[in-house]
Amino acid sequence: MLRGPYPAYFVLPALVLYLTFFIVPSIGGIGYSFTDWNSYSTEVNFIGLDNYARIFSPKERYLTYLANTMIFAVVSIALKTVLGLGLAVLLHEGVKRFVNLYRVLIYLPVVLPTLIVALIFKSILNPATGLLNSFLRSVGLDGFALQWLVDPRIALFSIIGVDTWKGVGFITVILLAGLQTIPKEYYEAAKIDGAGAWARFRHVTIPMLMPAIVVVTVLNVLHGLRVFDIVYALTNGGPGYATEVIYTEIFKAFSQGRFGLGTAISSVLFVILAVAGYFVIRLLERKPTR
């Protein structure tokens, strides 16, 4: 067993690497967010809060991108959590045969590359020749055959649907693991006390599953606010700016050489992620008042 100062020798390299590859670049990025750094000039000038004022200006579209990101995060979190919990309960209690096969099928979309998923669903959601609209028309539901990725009013929600299909299996697996750790004695005691299925779910399953729910909610928040690949692959932010989110704008800002503005947007997103993650954890871990 190591004693004395030896453990510090192991901590010091990790601390140096952490400072070198995380803290210093982060501070440097924040510093550059107060400049006009771009690829069109060799000079980097300090401009104060101009980049941030531009981001929050009503005249610019950045608030629209922020709103799209928030809508994506909130709706996708709700859908994945509710569907994931329902599937987890069904696999845990309702399905008796071929349960392992169902688990594989539910989790399969998670391991598919996002680009492949996007290509598949761009074909399925094609308004003219797509499988979905063709099926709707064949059963007489022509009014439901929509311009899924073309109509600005529904394009973002179409992407949310695709992202939910791809990610709900991951949430299901985590919640299913949480369900399997709940002792059966609690349910038996609740039955003896006369609790019905809904009462057992509300007063036994949900409280005991809360640690897993906290984990999946935080992961969903981080994913929802940092969404990029599925949006970029399906619509590239279109039609118009209807599905533009913060990360697609960060990508475009850096691609166009607007480095100072791009780092400012990244800094704003970092603050939003930190604040959202903190409050989500505090909210979900708060004990209900009696």
Model confidence pLDDT, tens digit, residues 231-284:
999 999 989 899 999 999 999 999 999 999 999 999 999 889 888 888 887 877
Banded pLDDT at 25 (limits 50, 70, 90): confident
Average pLDDT over residues 104-124: 92
Q: In CATH, which of 1.10.10.10, 1.10.3720.10, 3.30.530.20, 1.10.287.470 is domain 60-285?
A: 1.10.3720.10
Checking 115-120 for CB contacts under 8 A at 24+ apart, the result is: 115/229, 115/233, 117/162, 117/165, 117/166, 117/230, 117/233, 118/162, 118/229, 118/230, 118/233, 118/234, 119/233
Banded pLDDT at 286 (limits 50, 70, 90): low
- In tens, the pLDDT along 119-153 reads 999 999 998 889 999 999 999 988 899 999 999 99
240 close to 152: Cβ distance less than 8 angstroms: yes
Interior/surface letters 142-166, b for 16+ CB within 10 angstroms, e for the rest: eeebbbbbbeeebbbebbbbbbbeb
Specify the pTM. 0.87
The pLDDT mean for the chain works out to 88
Which residue ranges make up each domain of the chain?
A: 60-285
